[in-house]
Amino acid sequence: MKVLKVLKKIGKVLLIIVLVISLLLVVGLNYKTVLASHKNKDVVAAAKSLDDINVPDNVKIFGLGEASHGAVEFQESKLDVLKILVEKHGFKAIAIEADFGTCLEANAYIQGADGDSRDIVNKMDFAIYHTQQMADLLDWMRDYNQSVPEEEHLRFYGFDMQYPTNGVEFLYDYMDKNGISGIDTSYIEKYIDVNRQAKLTDEENQKVKDELAEIKAAIENAAGSEFDFDTTAAIKVAENTMVNVDWSTKDIQSGEMSNFRDESMAENVTWILNLEKEIGSGKIMLAAHNGHIGKVGQNILVKETMGGFLKEKYGDSYYSLGTDFFKGTFNSSVIRTSADDPYMRKNYYVTTADPMAYQAKYMEDKKFYLDFENLSPEDNKAVYDLVHSNVTTGSVGEGFYGLGYLIHASYRINIAPTELYDGMLFYYSISPIDPVVELD
């Protein structure tokens, strides 16, 4: 009996020790979250509402970021900000982080073509856009266009170049409608074959580009001097697919592929802006991950971002608005550990330990905006110093895994906000998107 009593006491002591260690681990891993969880009266006083977004007259490209692709709030922010830019600042176009070709059907829909917005977004290459929020964006743009003259119409673009399949289908359809035939496309077919596993050789890649160049030349010859929107788009699809071929040859481990992609996206933005100068207001809104719209890279592998290229080229005519959240759940693809792993998506909960985002807790709608350019070291010294110093903020890419919770670097960065953006939009909490997904 005495032995049993001693064992019970030892068991209780061990249990207490385990609980204490567990508590210390939780606090230790989340000490930044604890430190950030207090009211900052200076930030609250400087906070502005979303409607107060400052867009100087010289801004031609307005980049809206998202701290996570998989959050409802950031997808809703696209429409919220677009409405402000269209109704108050004369913007006529939005371009999102999606392949140029995959967005052409969406643009046709908002111009009045038959279709269903939900079906259209569900066919986009990125599953993150297979949501009701993106369908709502298209429907608002379509309704707006029906209420204004044709010369005031809005347009919808993609500035990415990762997935050429939908663009190639548009290209083939354009060729068929315009009587362009007799061009060998066998290597293009091989390139876009979803069942292909082996990488193409350099010689095969060149043949893909040669076929695309022949198609582009045929389109230009058939069109002569009369280029309508579809002709312009078809030529761009051919060019974009050639860029995709070059991108596919880059090394992923060194960051070469990521850097090439950001530079290519910046070039596509320039192309879209130049087109909008001809047919629109010459102002475009961009919507992409924070890591792309920011002025500098968020890690050592990304040397220069799309936003960095645009800032260098356009100066103050490019405005970047980053976003963040303090806590919440996002939806993400699950990182595969082997080629045999199936494609899956899950919801993950994290905290960012962002002391600024925490202040959204005290706002009526749980979000607020800060324009860094309007903060002065004299009138807003505490907030000015805060945004000019390294601050922990959230950054979740499209791909996560369970152990990521323990590795803060997988969803947090520690960089001065002013190095990254011209302003920020903060949310107290986020909720996960619910995309329609076809599992492979």
39-97 pLDDT, tens per residue?
999 999 999 999 999 899 999 999 999 999 999 999 999 999 999 999 999 999 999 99
Count other Cβ atoms within 10 Å, centred on residue 140: 17
Is the pLDDT score of 6 beyond 50? yes
Query: Residue 161, CB half-sphere, CA atoms under 13 Å: how many?
Result: 27
What pLDDT digit, counting tens, does each position of 134-151 carry? Answer: 999 999 999 999 999 999
| Cβ neighbours around 311 below 10 Å, total | 23
Residues 196-202 have a mean pLDDT of 91
Q: Which DSSP state fits 386?
A: H
Domain of residue 374 covers: 41-160+250-430
Average pLDDT for residues 200-229, to the nearest whole number? 94
pLDDT at 105 over 50: yes
Asked if residue 57 belongs to a domain, the reply is yes
* pLDDT of 7 higher than 60: no
CATH number, domain of 80, equals: 3.40.50
- Tell me, what's the pLDDT at 401? 86
* pLDDT score, position 16: 61
**CA–CA separation, 241 and 213 (whole Å):** 10
Which among 171, 312, 309 is positioned nearest to 237, based on CA atoms? 171
Q: What's the rounded Cα separation, in Å, for the pair 69 and 313?
A: 27
Q: What is the average per-residue pLDDT within 192-220?
A: 94
- In this model, does residue 232 exceed pLDDT 80? yes
Tokens of 72: 């409802």
Percent of the chain with pLDDT over 70: 93
- Is residue 25 predicted with pLDDT exceeding 50? no
- 102 secondary structure, DSSP code: G
Quote the pLDDT of residue 15. Answer: 60
End-to-end CA distance of the chain: 60
Q: Report pLDDT for 23.
A: 46
Q: How many CB atoms lie within 10 A of CB 377?
A: 11
Q: pLDDT value at position 407?
A: 82
DSSP 32-69: HHHHH-S--HHHHHH-B-GGG----TT--EEEE--SBT
Assign 387 a pLDDT band (cuts: 50, 70, 90). very high
pLDDT at 338 over 90: no
pLDDT at residue 24 in the model: 43
**Residue 341 token pair:** 């792993």
Residue 339 pLDDT > 80, yes or no?
Answer: no
Q: Give residue 103's pLDDT.
A: 97
Return the closest-CA partner of residue 369 out of 318, 421, 411, 317: 421
Q: How confident is the model over 210-220, as a mean pLDDT?
A: 97
Nearest to 310 by CA among 370, 268, 279, 250: 268
What is the distance between the alpha carbons of residues 324 and 430, in angstroms, rounded to a whole number? 9
Q: What is the mean pLDDT of residues 196-224?
A: 94
pLDDT at 219: 95
Classify 17 as helix, strand or coil.
Answer: helix
* Banded pLDDT at 303 (limits 50, 70, 90): confident
Amino acid letter, residue 131 = T
What is the structure's pLDDT at 75? 97
CA distances to 50, 148, 356 from 41, in Å: 19, 44, 11
pLDDT score of 22: 47
The predicted pLDDT at position 422 comes to 97
Instruction: Tell me how crowded residue 286 is: count the other CB atoms within 10 A of its CB.
Output: 29
Distance CA 306, CA 272 (A): 14
Distance CA(390)–CA(318), nearest Å, equals 23
pLDDT of amino acid 26: 47
Residues 306-334, mean pLDDT to the nearest whole number: 97
Q: Provide the residue type at 203 as one letter.
A: E
How many folded domains does the chain comprise? Answer: 1
Q: Hey, what long-range contacts does 229-234 have (CB within 8 A, 24 or more apart)?
A: 229/279, 230/174, 231/174, 232/275, 233/100, 233/104, 233/170, 233/174, 234/170, 234/171, 234/174, 234/175
| Res 46: pLDDT | 95
Length of the chain in terms of residues written: 440
Percent of residues, the chain, with pLDDT higher than 90: 79
Give me 402's structure tokens.
């369970």
Inform me whether the pLDDT recorded for 173 exceeds 50: yes
| Local confidence band at 30 (pLDDT 50, 70, 90 cut-offs) | confident
The whole-number pLDDT of residue 301 equals 78
- Residue 70 Ramachandran class (φ > 0 left, ψ -120 to 50 alpha, else beta): alpha
Say how far apart CA 119 and CA 72 lie, in whole Å. Answer: 19
pTM: 0.92
Average pLDDT, the chain: 92
Confirm whether 411 is domain-assigned. Answer: yes
Helix (H) or strand (E) holding 325: strand 318-333
pLDDT (0 to 100) of residue 340: 80
Average pLDDT score over residue span 235-240: 97
| Domain-located, residue 17 | no
Could you read off the pLDDT of 359-375 as tens digits, one per residue? 999 999 999 999 999 99
CA-closest candidate to residue 182, choices 218, 222, 231, 227: 218
The Cα 373–Cα 219 span in angstroms is 46
Does the pLDDT of residue 13 top 70, yes or no?
A: no
